[in-house]
Each structure stands twice: as C-alpha cells, then as structure tokens.
Amino acid sequence: MEIKICIGSACHLKGSYDVIRKCQDYIKKNGLTEKIELKSAFCLGRCSEAVSVQVDASEIFSISPDTADSFMKLMHQRTEL
C-alpha cells in the first residue's frame, strides 16, 4: 500500500508534518514497513480539506494530527484483507 501525504502550503499549515510523524511511528510500531510505503506529495488538489492523504493513487482522505492514528488503524486493517 502506498500512502501519500500532502506537504503543500495549506496542508503544511494544518499539520502535515505531524501527520507524517504519527504515521511513521505507527508503521514502525506495528511492523508495517513491508506493507505500507509512506511518501510525500506537493498537492493532491484538495487544499480546503487539508491535510490531504492519498491511498494507492486513488482514494483521497482528509485527516489531521488528531485523527492520524485512527486513519492508520484503518489502513492497517486493509493490509490484512
């Protein structure tokens, strides 16, 4: 699974680097480095919904530092299907 987190201006201001850190921590803590690849992107086209996160070049989610852990739990479940 590939997860891209926007680091463009709007997303940066809404905490994209905190989201990245929380996602990295979750991946390491749960041994998902072989299943989830985390990348950054400069714009996913949904600036008003920042922080934008794209999964496998299709679905786009809007998350925050506060919801990053629950988002990663959902992604973790998807890797086990």
Residue with tokens 């794209």: 54
14 Rama class: left (phi>0) / alpha (psi -120 to 50) / beta = alpha
Please state, in angstroms and rounded to a whole number, the distance separating the CA atoms of residues 46 and 23.
20
In this prediction, residues 54-63 reach a mean pLDDT of 95
Q: Give me the domains of the chain, ranges plus CATH numbers.
A: 2-79 (3.40.30.10)
- Note the pTM of the prediction, 2 decimals: 0.92
Q: Count CA atoms closer than 13 A to 72's CA, side-chain side.
A: 26
Q: Is the pLDDT of residue 41 over 80?
A: yes
**pLDDT grade for 14, boundaries at 50, 70 and 90:** very high
Arithmetic mean of pLDDT, 45-57: 94
Q: What is the mean pLDDT of residues 1-25?
A: 97
* pLDDT tier, 81 (very low <50, low <70, confident <90, very high otherwise): confident
Residue-level pLDDT at 54: 97
Q: Going by C-beta distance under 8 Å and a sequence separation of 6 or more, which residues neighbour residue 52? A: 5, 6, 11, 44, 45, 46, 60, 61, 62
